[in-house]
Structure 1
């Protein structure tokens, strides 16, 4: 997995967590859901990168 991709996925997950927390704190369910969605998207990208890496070995 490329270091840049890994860092980008970690940053996206952190942003999603922050957005989820902000949505929960303000009672904005839309923002909270968007944050959860970003985290899931990041996890899926991370998994895809691991599969690609496993295929290279």
Structure 2
């Protein structure tokens, strides 16, 4: 598996997508480990955005 930084990934998105489709399943272990450490937010996305907006407004 190759590692590609964000700048190169943006420039080569079509190529990388074609390679991903041709290679079959993608290993998402790193994504799983990242999301496993995230805190659960009981409120919905709209409420979260509203809270952030209102706290910056005043």
| TM-score relative to the length of structure 1 | 0.28
Q: Which has the higher contact order (CA 8 A, sep 6+)?
A: 1
Rg larger for: 2
More helix by share: 1
